[in-house]
Amino acid sequence: MRNPTLHDVARAAGVSYSTADRVLNQRGGVAEKSILRVQHAIQELGYRRDIHAANLSRRRSYRFRFYLPQGDHGFFSVLRDAAQDQGRARALDRINVDVHDVPALDADALAIELASIAEGDCDCVAIVGADSDRLGAAVARLAGLGIAVVTLVSDVESHARAAYIGINNIAAGRTAGRLIGLAHTARYGRILPILGKLGVRDHRERLRGVSDVLAGVGGISLLPALEVMDRPDRMLEHVGKVLTMDPDITGIYSIGAGNRALIRILGEMGGARPFVVLHELSPHSRVALEGGLVDAVIDQKPAEEIAQALDAMKAIVDGEVPIQAEITPTIYLKDNLPGPTGDGEHA
The site for its own copies (CB under 8 A) is made up of 1-3, 48, 50-53, 55-56, 59, 61, 91-92, 94, 96, 168, 170-172, 174-175, 177-179, 182-187, 209, 212-213, 275, 295, 326, 328-331, 333-339, 345-347
Report how far residue 195's alpha carbon sits from residue 206's, in angstroms, rounded to the nearest whole number. Answer: 9
Helices 107-115 and 133-144 meet at what angle, rounded to 10?
20
Are 146 and 119 in contact by the 8 Å Cβ rule? The answer is yes
**Closer CB to its own copies, residue 32 or residue 345?**
345
15 near 56, Cβ under 8 Å?
A: no
The least distance separating DNA from the CB of residue 6, rounded to whole angstroms, comes to 4
The answer to whether residue 91 forms part of the interface with DNA (CB under 7 A) is no
Taking residue 45's Cβ as centre, other Cβ atoms within 10 Å add up to 17
CB of 341 to its own copies, least distance (A): 8
- 344 DSSP assignment: -
19 binds DNA (CB under 7 A): yes
Long-range contacts at 239-246 (CB < 8 A, ≥ 24 apart): 239/192, 239/194, 239/265, 240/265, 242/192, 243/192, 243/269, 246/190, 246/192
Give the residues across from 225 on adjacent strands: none
Say if residue 79 is exposed, middle or buried (CB neighbours under 10 Å; 0-12, 13-18, 19+). Answer: buried
CB 287 within 8 A of CB 78: no
Nearer to DNA, 17 or 188 (CB): 17
Binding-site partner at residue 322 among its own copies, DNA, none, CB < 5 to 8 Å by type = none
Question: Which of positions 25-84 make contact with DNA (CB under 7 A)?
Answer: 25, 28-31, 33-34, 47, 49-50, 53-54, 56-59
How many Å apart are CA 308 and CA 313, to the nearest integer?
8
Q: Name the residue nearer to DNA (CB basis): 7 or 241.
A: 7
Give the nearest distance from C-beta 38 to its own copies in angstroms.
20
Minimum separation from the CB atom of position 263 to its own copies (A): 19
Q: How far is the CB of 104 from its own copies (least distance, A)?
A: 26
Residue 96 near DNA by CB under 7 A = no
Interacting residue ranges for DNA, rule: CB under 7 A: 2, 5-7, 14-19, 21-22, 24-25, 28-31, 33-34, 47, 49-50, 53-54, 56-59
